[in-house]
């Protein structure tokens, strides 16, 4: 958020959910699973 506020282009990547940094914050299990698989594939390709 601070970087984007400074006008620096950013990419946000993560599981979907609601209430970021609020008292009630959550992310979906399916979204978390999808992110984990994507990051694993990125690591495999970068380290290949």
Structure confidence at residue 18 (pLDDT) = 92
Q: Which residues contact 16 (CB under 8 A, 6 or more apart)?
A: 27, 28, 31
Under the banding of pLDDT at 50, 70 and 90, the label for residue 36 is: very high
- Residue 3: is its pLDDT beyond 70? yes
Percent of the chain at pLDDT above 70? 98
Q: pTM above the 0.85 mark?
A: no
Which DSSP string do the residues of 3-44 spell out, in sequence order? HHHTT------S--EE-TTSSS-EE-HHHHHHHHHHHHHHHH
């Amino acid at each position: 958020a601070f970087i984007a506020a400074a006008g620096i282009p950013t990419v946000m990547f993560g599981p979907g959910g609601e209430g970021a940094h609020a008292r009630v914050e959550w992310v979906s299990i399916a979204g978390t699973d999808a992110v984990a698989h994507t990051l694993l594939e990125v690591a495999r390709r970068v380290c290949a």
